[in-house]
Chains A and B, each alone.
Chain A
Amino acid sequence: MVSQLDMSLANDVQEVGRVIDALEAFGEENGIAPEEALRFGLALDELITNIISHGLAGRGEATISLLIEHDKGVLRAELHDDGLPFDPLTADIEHPDGDIDDRKIGGLGVTIVRKIMDRLDYRREDGFNRLKMEMKLKAA
């Protein structure tokens, strides 16, 4: 059976906490291991934080929508936003190196997303970023 979680998000980084809370509850209802639900949530956190901090920076009202789906051992999500175009598949990322004094965090979120998700599909359409993603769950 397919079950879904549909959320509409405000342009506020505090929304990330609400998304992860909702995902934890969704995971519990669907018998998904808490670590796996959180791992998926981490990738969504990084993407939503990017959208709010960069894509929608300086804007008030904005549209961000998130659809999460669990189906046969796979977690899927669709994330839509009307911010600046941003394709996490092709974005340049800095390699993590350097010691504590010159270390920067920029780009790390995208690295985490690429590591966690098994599939990522990006389209820019009608002024929206549309990102589809998929993570296979480990067999319980």
Chain B
Amino acid sequence: MSNLNHEVIGGALVLKPSRRIDSSSAKAFEDDANALLDAGPKLVVVDAADLDYISSAGLRVILTTAKKAKAGGGGLTIACAKANVKEVLAVSGFDNIFGLHDSVDVAIAALARK
């Protein structure tokens, strides 16, 4: 059973991790995201509204999730990132790779256009 908050909106899988994705919780996120991706849509939005913190171990699992989504013909993007999370995404260049959006709706529309 997945502990990762998620829902399917407009044909996209919206993942809503809470608090932190650090090296002690990254594996659980990866396992949950993989299972949800196997069973659901391949368009993925990471809704970061409740996420206070992400480390490079967290970025690694976002990247593996994105690769899996892409291999399934979909893609991944990020919405509603807070300042701390944005900083890490910017340092890594992930903001450019995945795109940052101000709302889940805008993120879903951006994925659908690709």
Task: Give the B-binding residues of A (Cβ under 8 A).
Answer: 13-18, 20, 34-35, 38-39, 41-42, 45-46, 49, 53, 96-97, 99-101, 103, 105, 108-109, 111-112, 115
Chain B interface size range: 20 to 34
CB <8 Å contact, A34 and B52: yes
- The chain B residue sitting closest to A97, CB to CB, is B93
Q: Given the known A-B contacts A35-B83, A49-B23, A96-B93, are A105 and B52 also in contact in the complex, defined by CB atoms under 8 Å?
A: no
Bound-state CA distance A41–B57 (Å) is 14
- The chain A residue sitting closest to B93, CB to CB, is A96
Interface of A is mostly: helix
B55 at the interface (CB under 8 A from A): yes
Considering the complex of A and B, which 3 residue pairs feature the smallest CB-CB distances, nearest first?
A17-B24, A96-B93, A49-B23
CB <8 Å contact, B22 and A45: yes
CB <8 Å contact, A41 and B91: no
CB <8 Å contact, A100 and B66: yes
CB <8 Å contact, B84 and A101: no
User: Restricting to B53-80, which residues have a CB under 8 Å from any CB of A?
Assistant: 53, 55-57, 59-60, 63, 66-67, 70
CB <8 Å contact, A16 and B22: yes
Bound-state CA distance A123–B56 (Å) is 25
Q: Given the known A-B contacts A35-B84, A49-B23, are A20 and B53 also in contact in the complex, defined by CB atoms under 8 Å?
A: yes
CB <8 Å contact, A105 and B97: no
B49 at the interface (CB under 8 A from A): no
Q: Given the known A-B contacts A38-B84, A49-B23, A100-B66, are A108 and B59 also in contact in the complex, defined by CB atoms under 8 Å?
A: yes
CB distance from B58 to the nearest CB of A (A): 9
B20 at the interface (CB under 8 A from A): yes
CB distance from A47 to the nearest CB of B (A): 11
Q: What 13 new A-B contacts, CB under 8 Å, besides A13-B24, A112-B88?
A: A15-B24, A16-B23, A17-B20, A42-B53, A49-B57, A53-B23, A99-B97, A100-B70, A103-B63, A111-B92, A112-B56, A112-B91, A115-B87
CB distance from A137 to the nearest CB of B (A): 14
CB distance from A23 to the nearest CB of B (A): 11
Q: Given the known A-B contacts A100-B67, A105-B60, are A16 and B53 also in contact in the complex, defined by CB atoms under 8 Å?
A: no
Give 7 CB contacts A-B under 8 Å: A14-B24, A16-B24, A18-B24, A35-B83, A46-B55, A96-B93, A108-B91
